[in-house]
Amino acid sequence: MSARVDVLVVGAGPGGMAAATVAAEAGRRVCLVDGGTAPGGQIWRGYSTPSASRSPHGREFVRWSERLQRSGCAVWQGWQVVDHPAEGVLRVERDGECRDVGYERLILATGARERFLPFPGWTLPGVMGAGGVQALMKAGLEARGRRVVVAGSGPLLLAVAAGLHDAGATVAGIYEQAAAGRLARFALRMLRHPGKLAEGAGYRLKTRKAAYRTGAWVVRAEGKDRVERVTVTDGRREWQVECDWLACGFHLVPNLELPLLLGCSVAGGYVAVDALQQSSVANVACVGELTGIGGLEKALAEGQIAGWAAAGREAQARAMTAEAGRGRRFGAELEAAFALREELRTLADAETVVCRCEDVPYGALAGKVGWREAKLHTRCGMGACQGRVCGAVTEFLFGWDAKSGRPPIYPALMSTMAEGAEETKAAAQRR
């Protein structure tokens, strides 16, 4: 075994950072493993302590990264968990090196990814995920002078539009598929979450020169070699908007592969947990977006609950449950407000590619009875992303269950899967 710890935490977003920090502060030997280059997850991607105070939610980032550093927790960045080779062991890989990490308690905080929906032209260069554009800009993509349409669904659209504005792009329009009535009810409920309301209002203020249309969605992207214009509809009429980029995403879906590999029960699309974040599998807790898309505060509260509970500090864990409950209620309100409309199921035509890894068009999938048949007959979901993109698409388009927890949960070297870390192999043989 490369390492053995009391508490292993997977995912260094806010949920995992909070869980690892409090468990280490309570005196447990903790290892925090994350596939990215630095702690922060999605919301704090690219943040660093000196510059973070000028960024949204930067103060929380500084507070939690400083606490994490002081806590004595071992932080393994760049290590991707790919397998669960034996009871109480996870296998991680980085740059061709493989390690097995043994644990007494496991906390999963693997977050969420964007949901994409296919429409004619969505594979053209210049069409990107809304969160994808945000991530690329944080990695140095130059947006100055670009004309960008932001579309899809969810609160991320406004955050991305504001980021584009700050980076010198022209936001050519923000198109949210949710109807105005739903969003008005959501805004009223947000009076109970004044911080979130102020955040959204701040983003909108920055992008006030751009049209914000509710009940509107992109039906087509067109251009010669790359996107040059998109066609938008409100269900009654269609119009075109010229653009250099389309940033388009439809809210988020949880990264369930690792919980499923471990056997955690899933209900309503999320990992089922009790008040202390314990899943259906003994000694495995799940936090953050895995248990419901609910934002930063929910991830931090749930992370602390799981961290305290893993350290045997139940009273401290229970003291955070009211805050986590508030986060969960906010998540439920998000889900209701940004529920996807029926019309989005009919955007793709027969030639529209659904599985981008294996180039499988909609026409080849329509009529199949389920995900398994689609995979066997068309190779849909069998490419490099293993259905991470098209799985959620087919769940929405056809009502299939495309969730999977088969190893390797991320592309891994054959040697990692075949040989594993020598000591785990030896231990398995001894048993």
Ligand X SMILES: Cc1cc2nc3c(=O)[nH]c(=O)nc-3n(C[C@H](O)[C@H](O)[C@H](O)COP(=O)(O)OP(=O)(O)OC[C@H]3O[C@@H](n4cnc5c(N)ncnc54)[C@H](O)[C@@H]3O)c2cc1C
Nearer CB in complex with ligand X: 35/381: 35
Kindly tell me which of 132 and 381 has the beta carbon lying closer to ligand X.
132
Binding mask 383-412 for ligand X (x = CB under 6 A): --------------------------xx--
60 binds ligand X (CB under 6 A): no
In terms of CB distance, is 42 or 71 closer to ligand X? 42
Rounded to whole angstroms, the Cα distance separating 21 from 316 reads 14
The mark string for 228-267 relative to ligand X (x by CB under 6 A, - otherwise) is ------------------------x--x--x---------
The neighbouring-strand residues paired with 102 are 4, 89
CA distance 22 to 5: 15
Write the interaction track for ligand X spanning residues 170-199; mark x where CB under 6 A is met and - where it is not: ------------------------------
CA dist., res. 149 & res. 154, Å (int): 15
* Alpha-carbon distance values, 304 to 9, 111, 261 (Å): 12, 15, 24
Select from 21-29, 237-245, 287-295, 370-378 the region that touches ligand X (CB under 6 A): 287-295
DSSP characters for 95-121?
TTEEEEEEEEEEEE---EEE-----TT
Pick from 60, 100, 176, 289: which binds ligand X (CB under 6 A)?
A: 289
Q: What is the CA radius of gyration of the chain?
A: 22
Asked if 297 touches ligand X (CB under 6 A), the answer is no
Give the one residue of 106, 109, 169, 261 binding ligand X; rule: CB under 6 A: 109
Question: Is 78 near ligand X (CB under 6 A)?
Answer: no
Helices (runs of H) and strands (runs of E) counted in the chain: 15, 21
CB 61 within 8 A of CB 52: yes
Report the nearest approach of ligand X to the CB of residue 351 (Å).
28
Stretch that binds ligand X, among 5-13, 179-187, 239-247, 330-338 (CB under 6 A): 5-13
Q: Which region, judged by CB under 6 A, interacts with ligand X, from 38-46, 171-179, 187-195, 205-213?
A: 38-46
Contact region with ligand X (CB under 6 A), list: 10-18, 46-54, 179-187, 200-208: 10-18
**CB contact set of 355 (below 8 Å; sequence gap of 6+):** 378, 379, 380, 381, 383, 387, 389, 390
Binding test (CB under 6 A) with ligand X, winner from 43, 101, 227, 337: 43
Q: Which long-range contacts (CB under 8 A, 24 or more apart) does 239-245 make?
A: 241/149, 241/172, 241/173, 242/147, 242/172, 243/126, 243/147, 243/148, 243/149, 243/172, 244/126, 244/146, 244/147, 244/148, 245/126, 245/127, 245/128, 245/133, 245/146, 245/147, 245/148, 245/149, 245/169
Which one among 223, 288, 292, 307 touches ligand X, defined by CB under 6 A? 288
Binding site for ligand X (CB under 6 A): 10-16, 33-36, 41-43, 80-81, 109-114, 131, 134-135, 156, 159, 252, 255, 258, 288-289, 295-296, 299, 409-410
